[in-house]
Structure 1
């Protein structure tokens, strides 16, 4: 399933560099990792289960940049079903 425009709007923003961010969108839970420039490059979208894991789909981002670090191509690719542990360490 391709990403909807509203989700693309969330993952097109800049965030803290090299971080893991959790958020929600509608009935979905989102978790994504950012690269050294703060652009999301790995996305998990699904629903949290009773253990706090997100069960759903995994997407990776393909970015093609020019010499000035300007984005030439930007594509999210669905890598299939995935589960990620996002429980906080207590």
Structure 2
């Protein structure tokens, strides 16, 4: 599974720092963890089970910044099934 352009656009927004955000995205349930800057860094996408856990895929974000805070590298890696 790849992350599509619409989902990447949603994940490029800033959110509340150091939180787990859950929402519905199309036919999928998504949950993501944000870093101290409000950037999503860990994504779970799939279907939510009755306990509230997402069964599907897990993605991790590589976000590398230089000394001035400018983003050098930004991409998502598939980390496998959850």
Identify the TM-score tier after normalising by the shorter chain.
over 0.9
| Alpha-carbon distance in structure 2 between the residues aligned to 1:4 and 1:19 | 23
Show CA shifts across 1:43-84 (max 9, x none).
Answer: 0000112332210000000011011112111010000100xx
Equivalenced residue count is: 82
The 5 Å alignment of 1:24-39 reads 24-39=24-39
RMSD: 0.9
| Alpha-carbon distance in structure 1 between the residues aligned to 2:64 and 2:14 | 16
Partner of 2:22: 22
Partner of 2:62: 62
Partner of 1:72: 72
Determine if the alignment matches structure 1 residue 53 to structure 2 residue 53. yes
Unaligned runs of at least 5 residues, structure 2: none
Partner of 2:44: 44
Secondary structure of 1:24's aligned partner? strand
* Structure 1 position 41, deviation (Å): 0.4
The normalised TM-score by structure 2 is 0.94
